[in-house]
Amino acid sequence: MPRCPARSFHKKAPSHIPEALWPALGPILEQIGSLTERICEYDRKLETISKEHYPETDLLRHVEGIGPLTALTFVLTLEDPHRFEKSRSVGAYSLGLVPARDQSGVSDPQKRICKEGDEMLRKLLVSSAHYVLGPFGSDLDLRRHGEKIASGGGKNSKKRAAVAVARKLSVLLHTLWISGEIYDPLYNTHRRQKQQQQQQQGAA
């Protein structure tokens, strides 16, 4: 089967299905196509609601992996971005995207993420993180951050990477909402390069 976005799967799959399997798989593809159209219709409704009532979501959607549903859920869940003095606290305390720890005795092993935040928003952010880290994600600071964690190996390294990127996303979205700045996908990379150039010029 071809690699393609979910919304175009029902259009590209038919040419790859053997004729003998059409009686069984044809109706399934029709259902997938119908559901895809309904999802697109809801997406259009979300677009309208966002533009008319929550224009700040447009700024958040500059971040790759953040669609209309995630941006709108983020804004509606936080309500007022000024409730949080620091953007880092959004992921750590409001959304529950911080590793829980068992601090009994001398050991301090990492456990699963605590789930004290908004469940829907947490799932959406983790889903966005999987997109950033997935085959369709572009080269950006968030992806590099996640890949660095995943490359460390160990049990559940990919899951830890997704959670870490989701936390970064929550911090980034809050920062953009507060500052009103346009998202630079390689901001940290460009900043490090500039610092290195300045250091080299100073040494010369």
Between 121 and 115, residue with greater pLDDT: 121
Q: Of 113-117, 158-162, 177-181, give the lowest mean pLDDT range.
A: 113-117
Rounded distance between C-alpha atoms, residue 53 and residue 199, angstroms: 47
Residue 177: pLDDT above 80?
yes
Give the residue-averaged pLDDT of 122-142: 93
Residues 39-57 pLDDT 10s: 999 999 999 999 999 999 9
Band (pLDDT 50/70/90 cuts) for residue 9 is: confident
Give the domain ranges of the chain: 1-53, 55-183
Kindly tell me if the per-residue pLDDT of 110 is higher than 60: no
Tell me how far apart the alpha carbons of residues 178 and 57 are, in angstroms, rounded to a whole number.
Answer: 12
Task: For helices 157-179 and 141-150, give the axis angle rounded to 10 degrees.
Answer: 160
Residue 10 is encoded by which pair of tokens? 């029902």
Mean pLDDT of the residues in the chain:
85
Question: DSSP string spanning 21-68?
Answer: GHHHHHHHHHHHHHHHHHHHHHHHHHHHHHHHH-TTHHHHTTSTT--H
- Look at 109 and 116; give whichever has higher pLDDT: 116
